[in-house]
Every structure is written in C-alpha cells, then in structure tokens.
Structure 1
Amino acid sequence: MAAFRSVLNVANSAKLALSSRTMASHPLAGLLGRLNHVAIATPDLEKSANFYKSLGAKVSEAVPQKEHGVYTVFVELPNSKIELLHPFGEKSPIQAFLNKNKDGGMHHICIEVRCIDEAVKAVRDKKIRTLGEKPKIGAHGKPVMFLHPKDCGGVLIELEQE
C-alpha cells in the first residue's frame, strides 16, 4: 500500500509540474489577475437591475460615467461582479453596440492586473492592440485599458489595475 501511495504521489507531482509549466510558459503568465467583472450592455437598465435584485443580489444605483458615455450599475456576486451598461449621451459606444444587438448582451470582460503600465507594455510587445494610447480612469476609479477584440479571440477585454 505504501508503494502504491508513493507512485500516486509521484504521478500527482508530475501532473502538477506539467500543468503549472504549461501555464507558466504562456506569454501573459503572471500578468493577468482575477476576473473583476463581466459587462453586459442592456437597453433597459432598470429592468436588468431588477432582475438581479429579484434573485437576491446586491445591486448598486445607476451611476453616469460621462467620460465613457455610459451609465453603470454593479451587481455584486460572491466571487466577482456583473457590470450593467446603458447608453449615456449621443455618442455612447454602448448605443452602437445596442444598435447591433437590440436585446443587449455581453460587452466585455474585465481582468485585474498588478500594474496597468506594465500590462499595457507587455500586451503591446506581443502585438496586441490597445484601444487608446494611455490608460483612462474606469468606473471603479482605477486605471483601465481596453484591448482590441480582434487580437483577443473576438472578446473585448478591459484590463484594470488592482
């Protein structure tokens, strides 16, 4: 039995080493942190907020983000957040999204990074385009940078400094 446990421990150690080596060799290993939020564009902010309230979630009030052309509502979950987005102003990028997606839908995901400046340099070094020259202050009051969806598997990614 002891020999069997020893073989099992060696196999598990090898599996762990292989999986961590695979992740560590990824070009963005160590850069990306936890998922901060998933953003959903919605044509009816009140209806969407009430949906999550009815499920017992803590839901913030709508906050206008004039510089980004959106209203935001945050839905707090135990391990992350959902950000509801609704157009604010005539040139809202969310209105353009809703023109193509009448019922709304997932707009972007936000991933935390330790240092936004290091992250921006790293993604640019890897030929991943950013949407903007320098980080802006996002809805959480922290620096953010969006990455071009064509360079990110079709997903708009927001990097946010921890």
Structure 2
Amino acid sequence: MFNAFSIGRSALASRAFSTSALSGLLGKLNHVAIACPDLEKASAFYKNLGANVSEAMPQKEHGVYTVFVNLGNSKIELLHPLGEKSPIAAFLEKNKAGGIHHVCIEVGDINKAIKTVKSLGIRTIGDEAKIGAHGKPVIFLHPKDCLGVLTELEQA
C-alpha cells in the first residue's frame, strides 16, 4: 500500500541517521534551542508559565547569550546574539520572529560520536568538540546531513 507513512519510513531508511552504527551512541534529548529576538520577553513567557528559568549567560566563544528553561526531563535553550559575528544574528536576519535553531542530543563519548558520524559521511561543523554552554564538550552536525536540522551532540 502506498501511503505517507511508508514513504517517510523508506526515505528515512536511506539517511545516515537511521543506520545501526548510531545504535547505542545517541542518548536522551538534552534541549531544543530557540533563537529569540527579545530574550527578556522569551524568558518572561516561560516564567509566566511557571517554568524554572535561568538568568541570561554570555557565551562569548559561541557568540550568544543563553537562557535555560528547565522542564525536568529536558530543557529549552533560548538563544540571543552576542556580538556582530553571532550565528544567531544571521539566523534572526532570516527568521525575524525567531524559531527553532537546533536540537541537542546527549552522547556517552563525544570523541567516539565524532568518529562514528564522520565515518558515516555526516559532516561536523568544526573538526573537534568545543566546550558548550553546559561546560561539556559539544559538536554540531551539518543540517544537510541531518534531515535539515542543525544537530548538536553533547557529552553526557
């Protein structure tokens, strides 16, 4: 039978992320990052819903301010540009109201994860892990190799 589910399933089966080589490599969803043109307004939105919201923290190496909304089982990371060369500024130029920027998935061993994804032909942004907003090593995977989604891997 020809239906949308079977089309989606077969399309995904041909993508690198659906291979068994990543089985056991990927852990839980750490956060979904949202680029925000107004960080105070975005923070207030989640505070008004009763969420535990952190203060804004500058991440100079990454060119962003981050705010974390703790949801218990996961987080939302609010991002706002820091400096003229911020990748978030470029994102907001194209998406004036903001929007989902990336997803972050935990891995047990970041170096093994980098080696595995590269062996599968998945491009990384940068050659090695950098320290991310949680003080842990992270690396980003190219969205063109990840179903159109910028994906961050973070050492658990």
TM-score by length of 1: 0.84
Report the equivalent of 1:102. 96
Give 1:130's match in structure 2, choosing from 120, 124, 127. 124
Runs of 4+ in 1 over 4 A off after TM superposition: none
1-structure distance, mates of 2:69, 2:84: 25
2-structure distance, mates of 1:40, 1:27: 29
Give 2:114's match in structure 1, choosing from 112, 120, 136. 120
Gaps of 5+ in 2: 1-17
TM-score by length of 2: 0.88
Q: Are residue 63 (structure 1) and residue 57 (structure 2) matched?
A: yes
Identical pairs, percent:
72
Q: State the one-letter code of the partner of 1:42.
A: C
Q: Are residue 53 (structure 1) and residue 47 (structure 2) matched?
A: yes
2-structure distance, mates of 1:28, 1:133: 19
Residues matched between the structures, number: 139
2-structure distance, mates of 1:69, 1:97: 12
Larger Rg: 1
Gaps of 5+ in 1: 1-23
1:41-96 CA deviation, whole Å, 9 max, x = no partner?
A: 00000000000000000000000000000000000002100000000001000000
2-structure distance, mates of 1:26, 1:107: 27
RMSD (CA atoms): 1.1
Aligned 1:150-161 pairs, distance under 5 A? 150-161=144-155
